[in-house]
Amino acid sequence: MSLFKPIPFFSGPMVQSFMASFKSKADKSYGKNLEGEWRSVRTKKGVTLLARIHDVPSPKGIVILVHGWEGSIHSSYIIRTTKHFLAKDYSVYRLNLRDHGDTHHLNEGIFNGSLLEETYDAVLTLAKSVKSKLPVYLAGFSLGGNFVLRMAGKHSTAKAEEKIPGLKHCFAFSPALDPKRATIKMDEHPFLRKYFLNSWKSSLEKKGQLFPHLYSFHDLDKYQSVMELTEKMVKEFSQFRSVDEYFLSYTLSDLFFRTIKVPTTILTSMDDPVIPWKEFTEIPSSAYIDVVIEAKGGHCGFIEDWKRSSYYWRIMEKKMG
């Protein structure tokens, strides 16, 4: 039985997906005026990621948020989730993935979906910076959800000193389980293909302008699908021998899910225009993993009302309580 009940006007998958990412004047104003500390996080291998730290007095815990591909800590769903949990007396830490949120200048290397180690190191560093012993909650959206699930697996198998201190629960909303299938499905949708392709091209152009001695992206106009551009990037700028090998590096298999030993909640919808929902029915049953498949919700949507309250906030609060 579906527990997510959007109002009729917001029930369509593209409306849900759009409303999740649409940055309203209120979002922009809140994000601009939100007090916090910028923090550069240096990983073991010398990668720098940028985070925004929002501490509250006597917090109930720490919520660390990881955005999706071509999003950032300024994305609407991140801003609204930050606002919600700060009001609930949780400190919130927003983390930019490499080359997201205007951080292209921080590292010479280009972002790709396989970069788990640096993301885990950054989250580990942020969690270790917490002075008092507080519960830590990790939440990711779309590709960020994929990263969070991999971090849950890495945490579960890590040595004691490499575990994320205080980690109590991981949340993955509309995560990509099979990135190759997700890319194919994205390319089949004209609006989504154009949006993500243009956004990615813009990101690569910024990288090329900052590091002209390393990258030349003069031919981007000829690539008309996300898959075509992925093949180019893998061939020219990665250590992977093929695009299939690249996708496999962050595809989440049945065997992978059996490694997770930290409470984890996964939320997806049957009408997600990017992520095939049937993949989630194949996740092996586990005492640690709760898979929630809703009939509606779009991609990272789950918008419940005119104020754009998110259903996943209620899921998080229930698990965190």
Q: Which of 74, 155, 169, 299 is catalytic?
A: 299
Residue 1 has pLDDT above 70, yes or no: no
- Determine the Cα–Cα distance for residues 239 and 232; give it in Å rounded to an integer: 13
Task: Please tell me whether residue 20 adopts helix, strand or coil conformation.
Answer: helix
Q: How many CB atoms lie within 10 A of CB 121?
A: 18
Does residue 235 lie within any of the structural domains?
A: no
Q: Which of 142, 203, 269, 310 is catalytic?
A: 142
Residues 15-60 pLDDT 10s = 999 988 888 888 888 888 889 999 999 999 999 999 999 999 999 9
> What integer is the mean pLDDT of 193-207?
96
**Cα distances (angstroms) measured from residue 254 to each of 150, 170, 279, 284, 286:** 13, 18, 10, 6, 11
- Determine the Cα–Cα distance for residues 224 and 213; give it in Å rounded to an integer: 26
Q: What pLDDT, on the 0 to 100 scale, is given for residue 132?
A: 83
Does residue 208 lie within any of the structural domains?
A: no
Does residue 113 lie within any of the structural domains?
A: yes
Does residue 198 lie within any of the structural domains?
A: no
Q: How sure is the predictor about 162, in pLDDT bands with cuts at 50, 70 and 90? A: very high
Annotated active-site residue 272? The verdict is yes
Annotated active-site residue 142? The verdict is yes
User: What is the total count of domains within the chain?
Assistant: 1
Does residue 266 lie within any of the structural domains?
A: yes
What the block records as the tokens of 314 is 């209620």
Does residue 188 lie within any of the structural domains?
A: no
Does residue 207 lie within any of the structural domains?
A: no
Annotated active-site residue 199? The verdict is no
Q: Which of 121, 178, 187, 272 is catalytic?
A: 272
Q: What pLDDT, on the 0 to 100 scale, is given for residue 256?
A: 96
Does residue 54 lie within any of the structural domains?
A: yes
Q: What pLDDT, on the 0 to 100 scale, is given for residue 24?
A: 85
> What integer is the mean pLDDT of 236-252?
97
Cβ contacts of residue 303 below 8 Å, gap of 6+?
Answer: 6, 10, 16, 19, 20, 309, 310, 311
Q: What are the two backbone dihedrals, phi and then psi, of residue 136, each rounded to the nearest 5 degrees? A: -115, 135
Tell me the whole-structure pTM to 2 decimals. Answer: 0.96
Angle in degrees, CA 201, 28, 143, rounded to 5: 45
What the block records as the tokens of 4 is 């997510």
- Domain that residue 297 falls in: 13-179+252-320
Q: How sure is the predictor about 153, in pLDDT bands with cuts at 50, 70 and 90? A: very high
Cβ pair 170, 146 in contact under 8 A: no
311-320 vs 76-87: helix crossing angle, rounded to 10: 40
Cβ pair 176, 147 in contact under 8 A: no
- The DSSP code for 116 is H
Mean pLDDT of the chain, nearest integer: 95
Tell me what percent of the residues of the chain surpass a pLDDT of 70: 99
Q: Which residues in 13-55 belong to E strands, given as ranges?
A: 37-42, 48-54
Q: What pLDDT, on the 0 to 100 scale, is given for residue 148?
A: 98
CATH number at residue 46: 3.40.50.1820
DSSP for 193-240, written as a single string = HHHHHHHHHHHHHHHHHH-TTT---TTGGG--SHHHHHHHHHHHHSS-
76-87 vs 25-33: helix crossing angle, rounded to 10: 60
Torsion of CA 109, 121, 202, 105, to 10 degrees: -60
